Amino acid sequence: MAKVKIKFACTQCGTESPKWMGKCPGCNEWNTMVEETETEIKAPVGRSELTRTKEKARPIIDIESGQEPRILTGMSELNRVLGGGLVPGSLLLVGGDPGIGKSTLLLQASYSLSAKGLKVLYVSGEESVKQTKLRADRLGALNDKLYVLCETNLEVIEEAIAEVEPDFLVIDSIQTVYRPEIASAPGSVAQVRECTAHCMRISKINGVATVLVGHVTKEGAIAGPRLLEHMVDCVLYFEGERHHTYRILRAVKNRFGSTNEIGIFDMAEEGLREVTNPSELFLSERPLGVSGSTVVASMEGTRPVLVELQALVSPTHFPSPRRMASGFDHHRMSLVIAVLEKRMGMFLQNQDAYLNVAGGVKLDEPAADLAAIVSLASSFKDAPTKPFDVVFGEVGLTGEVRAVSRAEQRVKEAHKLGFKRVIMPEMSMKGWQAPKDIQLIGVKTVAQALKAALE
């Protein structure tokens, strides 16, 4: 006989408890525990014989290896993030803030694939068919190979998949889909988990590349249990600032490619446009000849990106100075300020310090340390930096400048955009030839770098 079991699960992190709690013990959020019913069916004797697989273990050298075929989406930035295109039978999860452009991106990708002759099924649980058609009219994404369905019942969706037999499937969003046999509301932990597992089986059995759109929490993580990110093959985050038109597509998990690549798009009236030269975009409004502004060469995967790093140092009126960073790691900011105080003798204990990466970009590599030091020192001394300098390098606690990877690509990107000088670690200058009309200044210490940048 089936036994009904009642439990409580957190809608934020998926933590389960046999009784209700006001505060979730897993994520410490209040009023997120909801009641769920679970049916336990005791398997009859001998049931394990029916589920036993006949697959035998084999030596790994006897298994044939083959390259997975890729499906190019027609959007080079999306292909870059995916590792070269879509893999048939893969399951992708796309998350992002409301209104950031997830549906626009996937509708444009669906149109590009349908224009190549592939069948695409776009399932929307949040918009009607007419609303999707209006958006497709605005984007110019109309093709007879692009099928649209407004449905939230997973059984009906499965029937539509069997009827259309698509090569590419989009479900927008997974929080709106439900299975009738599960006694929970759509969007609950049990529904999201089971619907994702069922979509994974459909994708693997039919060889359909499937994309699930996931809502995000107020912290920016994909809503639902963390198990979802382990089940899918690829997790993409679509990020961007509300006050800027560009968007960044970033992979945090990818079984078929690198997780260091990013794709950059510009949101326009007719949809998302690909940005092939992001450095030029981020530096388009850079002021020249001002203090506290430095251009840093950062690496996003295999792509070099030049961005502006701004610093402001001003006297404080409080007992403890403020340290604020936007787009830059707060702990590394404290580290470089301590190096300036100890190794360069700059008294910053009565100064507020602010660091900002212009354009809302996030720098998460140590190569930005030297540019942060130059910007802070420039603002503290009120000494303008040279407008055609690019700075990069890792800074140690003793004030030394350490080598960084891919220095050649960073220098070539600076040369392509017309910069005249590059201040970089001396150890990174070995083993390659720099362009002729750009000057490389190799430094070993922070003192040498500040002398070259500010004098």
What residue segments make up the domains of the chain, in order of their start? 1-42, 76-276, 281-454
Q: What angle do CA 57, 62, 65 make, to 5 degrees?
A: 110
Phi-psi region of 101 (alpha: psi -120 to 50; beta: other; left: phi over 0): left
63 is in an annotated binding site: no
Task: Look up residue 386 and give its DSSP letter.
Answer: P
Q: What angle do CA 304, 392, 430 make, to 5 degrees?
A: 85
The pLDDT profile of the chain, 455 residues, written as one tens digit per residue, is: 456 678 888 877 778 888 899 998 888 888 888 887 765 444 444 444 434 556 788 898 888 876 668 899 999 999 999 988 999 999 999 998 888 899 999 999 999 999 999 999 999 998 999 999 999 999 999 999 999 999 999 999 999 999 999 999 999 989 899 998 887 778 878 888 889 999 999 999 999 999 999 887 666 666 666 678 888 999 999 988 766 778 889 899 999 888 878 888 988 888 999 988 888 888 888 888 899 999 999 998 788 999 999 999 999 988 899 999 999 999 999 999 999 999 999 999 999 999 999 877 889 899 999 999 999 999 999 999 999 999 999 999 999 999 999 999 999 999 999 999 999 999 999 889 888 889 999 999 999 999 999 98
301 is in an annotated binding site: no
Phi-psi region of 431 (alpha: psi -120 to 50; beta: other; left: phi over 0): left
Task: List C-alpha distances in Å: 408 to 277, 303, 349, 362, 419.
Answer: 18, 12, 37, 22, 14
119 is in an annotated binding site: no
Q: Is 203 helix (H, G, I), strand (E, B) or coil?
A: helix
**Under CATH, what is the fold of the domain 281-454?**
Ribosomal Protein S5; domain 2 (3.30.230)
Q: Are the C-beta atoms of 341 and 378 separated by less than 8 Å?
A: no
125 is in an annotated binding site: no
Q: Is 57 helix (H, G, I), strand (E, B) or coil?
A: coil
CATH class of segment(s) 76-276: alpha beta
Query: One fold for both 76-276 and 281-454?
Result: no
**Taking the alpha carbons of 277, 279, 280, 281 in that order, is the dihedral positive or negative?**
positive
Query: How are beta strands 2-10 and 16-17 bridged, if at all?
Result: antiparallel
Alpha-carbon gap, residue 194 to 439, rounded angstroms: 59
Nearest to 228, CA basis, from 259, 246, 252, 207? 252
98 is in an annotated binding site: yes
Give me the pLDDT at residue 48, please.
Answer: 42
Give me the pLDDT at residue 51, please.
Answer: 41
Give me the pLDDT at residue 64, please.
Answer: 80
Nearest to 289, CA basis, from 159, 387, 407? 387
How big is the chain, counted in residues?
A: 455
Give me the pLDDT at residue 50, please.
Answer: 38
Alpha-carbon gap, residue 4 to 111, rounded angstroms: 46
Only one residue has tokens 């969706």, namely: 157
Q: What angle do CA 380, 383, 384 make, to 5 degrees?
A: 120
Task: List C-alpha distances in Å: 88 to 35, 92, 256.
Answer: 37, 11, 11
Q: Are the C-beta atoms of 171 and 125 separated by less than 8 Å?
A: yes
Task: List C-alpha distances in Å: 337 to 327, 367, 376, 378.
Answer: 17, 16, 8, 13
Q: Are the C-beta atoms of 325 and 333 separated by less than 8 Å?
A: yes
| Tokens at 316, concatenated | 């404080």
337 is in an annotated binding site: no
Q: Is 208 helix (H, G, I), strand (E, B) or coil?
A: coil
Instruction: Give the type of residue at 103.
Output: S
